[in-house]
Chains A and B, each alone.
Chain A
Amino acid sequence: MSEITARPLDPVAAGVGPTDKETTIAAAIARIAPGSTVMIGGFMDIGAPHALLDELAGSSAGDLHVIANDTATPRTALGRLLISGLVTRLTVCYAGGNRAVQELARSGGLELEFIPLGTLVERIRAAGAGLGGFLTPTGLGTPMAEGKPTYDFNGQTYLVEEPLRADVALLGAFRGDRHGNLTYRGTARNINPVMATAAGLVIAEVEQLFDAGDLDPGQVGTPSVFIDLVTERPG
């Protein structure tokens, strides 16, 4: 019988399991092709991946469809990206606080779509959870219901909603390790964890990057399995 050691297996040293996902801001953004659908984490700029957004706004990846919670304000990295001309379609639940985006949409420079917060999050969750859609009472009797199928269930009418997936997700987190585990701080968690589950390429920008094994497993808000690339915010 072999000896049992208390030391956990180091997957990288063993050549199995997750490998090093650390990259640079520039290398991460270079992976985004023109015409991509990009989910962007954050809630009114709190928990947003600021360095990734600044890099994207200066890139050549145009004709982007951005999916975010909100438009933040014109002073933020997201606000600058949205009026950079690179974004042609925008899906959010809230655009108040950013008149520039509202005006761009009214002038035809941006296709702006609103989805109620709960439906937006649940559509993303459904995509990441392998579900074909869901039934919700939210939006019944409002313009949100127009053109949507309904389903009667247990005496109640629901709207039928589809999953929402993206090519890329850009996330912000507090700490991360090189395998992609993420922790969050305060209210900066917001829409980041759910977006981590629903994109083909998931890139996380963290304030502090640690070696694998240096984060408390109990504090991990997004497990490494959902993350493809992780990069430390400069400065």
Chain B
Amino acid sequence: MAWTSDGIAARVAAEIASESVVSIGIGMPARIADHVDLKGPVMLHMENGVLGLGPRETANKAAPDVSNATGTPVAVRDDAAFFDIDLAVRMMRGGHIDVAVLGAMEVAHNGDLAGWRVPGAVDSGMGGAMDLVVGARRVIVCMSHTSNDGAAKLVPYCRLPLTGRGVVDMVVTGLGVFAVRDGAFHLTELADEVEWDEVAAATAGNLVDARDDAPAPAPAEPDEESEELLAAAEPDGDRDDDDPYHDSPAGDHHPD
């Protein structure tokens, strides 16, 4: 079975367990706070002005005016700090964040990231994502492997407006974990009970089997099914609103 949103968040939480300062975006990445030890080494940062973020809380249990970037009440570490957005952004853009974890609508196999707008359909805005991708040492994307309509989100190139160019280092989806390098998605780990063929069928960008027990290095040549997904990725200039290639307005970038 593929990982759920919480399963993806738990997998990313394990990935960042030895890092020190990790900034998380809204949507699926916000769930990571529910899987990080409040007394552990990781300090979670959010762009609304908190360092030392903890899990979501019920409103009557949380301290007044202590929220995450979606306005949800949260717990914080004993050694947390609150500050204004000016300082929050200096941490992000100024190189003080070790890892940024963001949601996305599309990631290309060269590391391009798109996640703030679907012309004519979604106008979410980028929030602090454009600042995070220029300032964080490492960028991890967590998202569903395909759109709500089943179209590929791991693509040869982004057709949606970019958040950043060549910025993504790793993608964690419901199907597995992928290192993004050398113009391909390198599968390093499959989700529970997921097969390689399922990943290959749902991925339009170049895909390499980089698991420790992988047979021979698989060529980055797309098979026939991937060719169909690639064809769907061709920019057509004017797109209609029910283009299955794109997320519905209820995509990853809306708050819980």
Contacts and interface: CB of A to CB of B under 8 A. Distances in A.
A45 interface: yes
Given A116-B130, A190-B84, A190-B85, A44 B69 contact: yes
Contacts of B123: 95, 102, 105-106, 112, 114
A121 B131 CA distance: 11
A121 B50 contact: no
A233 to B, nearest CB: 13
Nearest to A136: B93
A194 B84 contact: yes
A190 B126 contact: no
Interface of B is mostly: loop
A94 interface: yes
B173 interface: no
A164 to B, nearest CB: 13
Specify the main secondary structure of chain A where it touches its partner.
mixed
A192 interface: yes
Interface stretch (A8-16, A17-25, A180-188): A180-188
Nearest to A43: B48
Interface in B207-256: 249, 253-255
Contacts of B48: 43-44, 46, 187, 190
B26 interface: yes
Interface in B103-154: 116-117, 120, 122-131, 134
A31 interface: no
Given A44-B67, A69-B85, A96-B254, 11 more contacts: A46-B71, A102-B122, A102-B249, A118-B92, A142-B161, A142-B163, A185-B65, A186-B63, A187-B48, A190-B84, A193-B84
18 contacts: A46-B65, A93-B127, A94-B125, A96-B255, A106-B123, A117-B127, A119-B130, A142-B163, A143-B162, A186-B66, A186-B82, A187-B50, A187-B66, A187-B67, A188-B65, A190-B84, A190-B85, A194-B86
Interface of A: 43-47, 69-70, 72-73, 92-97, 99, 102, 105-106, 112, 114, 116-119, 121-122, 125, 136-144, 174, 185-194, 221
5 shortest interchain CB distances as A-B pairs: A44-B71, A186-B65, A141-B165, A118-B131, A96-B124
